[in-house]
A = this chain, B = another copy of it.
Amino acid sequence: MNQQNESAEPRATSNTESASQASAPPPAANSPEQQGGDSGKRRVGRRAGRSATREEILNAARPMFAERGFAGTSIRAIAREAKVDPALVMHYFGDKEGLFRSALELPVNPREILSKVIEGDREKLPERIITTFLAVWEGPVTGEAMQAIVRRVFGEPDSFNLVRDFMGELIIESLSPALKDVPEEEARARISLVVSQMLGFVLGRYVVGLDSLQRMTHEEIVTYLEPTLRRYLLADLGDIDTSAGEHS
């Protein structure tokens, strides 16, 4: 679960580029700025013998990012901690974001992916967000790494068992009587969608602390979330072609 292996070497990720799925833009692991180094646009991959230094930089970077946050950590400070020249940090990781992605072992460049997502037909933006999201989170190459990261960031599996067993089941069981006119499996799916929205809201407002969510008044929250929960619980959820089953 807590593996620290550097499977996502930023310079040698040609197979990551095959991680695109179905209708989604490909998650690109190599951002152009990450390629910048001492040798122009050369893409020849790993340099044997230097990986120890690279690892030392990452080992210095992780606790500093964790303690001071992304904004509060400088390349210079990390270089000082790792006892290397800042130019060497840039050489290996391109910029602070590249270093951060490597420290987190992010297999994709979220900025690059998102910049592609917003291109194109505005009416299809919501769908593009979801399909890209699924391609990244469940793609054959990126999925495992992304899920490992989120498990690492959001604590211990033990706790999650409890959340699932107790809160998940308890919420589903407690709310089910309100949906007694639909089949049980549908009721569970509907309530679990409600749980997904409210769980994300809890995390975003109280734990991660996203400014915009924290600033919302109770009245705004009701106004914004009520139609979402109404649709998940009471409305037609839309036609599903059950013959597809593309979920692995």
Contacts and interface: CB of A to CB of B under 8 A. Distances in A.
Contact of A233 (B126, B138, B185, B193): B126
A228 B228 contact: yes
B156 A115 contact: no
A237 B220 CA distance: 9
Identify the 6 closest CB pairs spanning chains A and B, nearest first: A200-B200, A155-B155, A114-B174, A192-B212, A126-B229, A199-B200
Contacts of A192: 204, 210-213
Interface residues of A, number: 110
Interface of A: 22, 65-67, 69-71, 97, 100, 104, 110-111, 114-115, 117-118, 122-123, 125-127, 129-131, 133-134, 137-138, 147, 150-156, 158-168, 170-175, 177-178, 185, 188-189, 191-213, 215-234, 237-241, 244-247
Contact of A203 (B66, B199, B225, B226): B199
Nearest to A212: B192
A200 B195 contact: yes
Contact of A164 (B197, B210, B232): B210
A150 B233 contact: no
A197 B194 contact: no
Contacts of A118: 174-175, 177-178
A234 B118 CA distance: 13
Contacts of A203: 150, 154, 196, 199-200, 203
Contacts of A167: 110
A208 B160 contact: yes
A153 B161 contact: no
Q: Which of A127, A166, A244 has the most CB of B within 10 A?
A: A166
Given A200-B196, A217-B246, A246-B217, A212 B224 contact: no
